[in-house]
Amino acid sequence: LTGRLQDAFSVLRKKGKITEADIDEVMREVRLALLEADVNFKIVKEFVKNVRDKAKGEEVIGSLTGGQQVVKIVNDELTELMGGELQELNFSETNEPTIFMMTGLQGSGKTTTAGKLANYLRKHKKKKPLLVAGDIYRPAAIDQLKTVGSQLDIPVFEMGDQVSPVEIAEKGLETAKENNHDLVIIDTAGRLHVDEELMDELAAIKTSVRPDEIFLVVDSMTGQDAVNVASSFDELLDITSVILTKLDGDTRGGAALSISSATHKPIKFVGTGEKLSDLEPFHPDRMANRILGMGDILTLIERAEEEVSEEEALALAEKMREQTYDFNDFLDQMKQVQKLGPMQDIIKMIPGLNSIPGLDDLDLDDGQMDWTKAIIYSMTEEERTNPNIISQSRRRRIAAGSGRSLNEVNGMIKQFNESKKMMGSMTGGKGSGKMDSMME
Ligand code: GDP
Ligand code: MG
């Protein structure tokens, strides 16, 4: 179905002069795409009406670039609704520590995200965070935060479950000041549904420590209900920003649009996996592309930059040039790619690829990478560094050792040799110099 929207867009782009009927036609597809991405239906209705009015008002009808203009209006309006551009965090402007408070329903991702944020801000803003365990109701909540803290080597302040969350927040703040922490992140309890008791408690914490940010953490798979949840929290707490979690996997992120239009509060981060490094700043324009099913190549590039250091990349290029690229390098490279996320997710971020019919059913599991790795692990160090010595008898031994067939081992080695040859010619390896001459 997303493919249908892209088709409609490309037909429209190619058309010279467009008619009112063309606009209605493409807006039908936009409407379907939004509903499919789980955007709240009322918001879809309003959005489609706005864009249609705008398109018809802007004299695109009859204009030679009318089609392109309509596509742009759809994209711009979506981006605008989600806040326009990247929104920065609010930090304390005094010498006092910055205070962040996590709120949201149970299971939305507050505790995990508290850790992710602490980790992110330590890395990117040189902050010295303290996590505060304010969820005293779920039996394992304090331990969960402590586990997160110890994984990240970030301290956790707790007072057990017999003290009120307000007092824990206050004492946590004092402790932070005593130990020169400049960032305090307070984890709080959630319920399965919005209820008065919970809201009163959150409001009491807010009044007491006056956070710089009150984050509403929302599970992006909440779908249609996201609007109600977000509106209630916002009415009762006046949240400052939103963090959308679980935007990995299949969710197209319609919740982002629903929440933005319902609360007019900026979404600042998105959680994209269970690992504590899976947190990314929220870019409205990229999310607009994602909701429309148009991929997100920029985020993919950023992830690659984050995970693969420049030295690693340069060292690899050098090896390719000198043709010393061997199975150990191949292994390293495979590990780097796997760091970017599951194959299914990566593919979805590449524009065009994400709309190929049947891609969802394709078994793109990471199994193939895993067995390729198994084959390499079954090679001796000498074989890995000198792939040329891998004779038939060695291949049979490797096959037996890795539990793969001889055919698979042969295929893998062949593929390695071919990509080595190709990379050699691309980077101007010995006997080629193609790239060098192209650069001149
Ligand atoms: P809380 O009840 O709001 O504190 O939620 P938790 O932090 O305990 O998270 C609930 C579950 O969601 C845990 O299993 C987390 O690992 C998982 N989770 C949180 N954020 C993400 C995310 O961005 N992606 C995925 N896949 N899982 C997440
Ligand atoms: Mg929790």
- Identify the CATH number of the domain in which residue 309 sits: 1.10.260.30
Residue of 17 and 94 predicted with greater confidence: 94
**Vertex 125: Cα angle to 123 and 128 (nearest 5):** 75
| Overall number of domains in the chain | 3
Residues 150 and 279 occupy one common structural domain: yes
Judged against a pLDDT cut of 60, whether residue 2 lies above it is answered with no
Q: Which ligand does the CA of 189 lie closest to?
A: 2
Residues 123 and 246 occupy one common structural domain: yes
- pLDDT confidence bin for 164, thresholds 50/70/90: very high
Answer yes or no: is 121 a known binding residue: no
Q: How far apart are alpha carbons 82 and 62 in whole angstroms? A: 30
Domain boundary among 16, 46, 81: 81
Query: Could you tell which of 193, 229, 245, 280 is best to mutate to test the pocket of ligand 1, judged by most ligand atoms within 8 Å of the CB?
Result: 245
Interhelix angle 406-426/367-377, rounded to 10 degrees, is 90
Query: Are the CB atoms for 243 and 113 separated by under 8 Å?
Result: yes
Ligand 1 neighbour 251 (Cβ under 6 A): no
Query: Could you tell which of 103, 106, 111, 112 is best to mutate to test the pocket of ligand 1, judged by most ligand atoms within 8 Å of the CB?
Result: 112
Judged against a pLDDT cut of 70, whether residue 308 lies above it is answered with no
pLDDT value for 143: 96
Query: Are the CB atoms for 282 and 270 separated by under 8 Å?
Result: yes
Per mean pLDDT, which range of 19-23, 50-54, 341-345 is the poorest? 341-345
| Model pTM above 0.80 | no
Per mean pLDDT, which range of 82-86, 192-196, 408-412, 432-436 is the poorest? 432-436
Q: The domain containing residue 60 runs over which residues? A: 2-81
Residues 183 and 314 occupy one common structural domain: no
Residues 184 and 73 occupy one common structural domain: no
Ligand 1 neighbour 188 (Cβ under 6 A): no
Residues 229 and 120 occupy one common structural domain: yes
Instruction: Give the number of the atom of ligand 1 that is nearest the alpha carbon of residue 106.
Output: 2
Residues 72 and 163 occupy one common structural domain: no
The predicted-structure confidence for 181-202, as pLDDT tens digits, reads as follows 999 999 999 988 888 889 999 9
Instruction: Give the number of the atom of ligand 1 that is nearest the alpha carbon of residue 108.
Output: 3
Answer yes or no: is 212 a known binding residue: no
pLDDT value for 71: 77
Residues 204 and 228 occupy one common structural domain: yes
Residues 380 and 402 occupy one common structural domain: yes
pLDDT value for 173: 98
Mean pLDDT, rounded, for 47-69: 78
pLDDT value for 372: 85
Query: Are the CB atoms for 227 and 258 separated by under 8 Å?
Result: yes
What percent of the chain is modeled with pLDDT above 70? 81
What CATH number is given to the structural domain containing 63?
Answer: 1.20.120.140
Residues 26 and 170 occupy one common structural domain: no
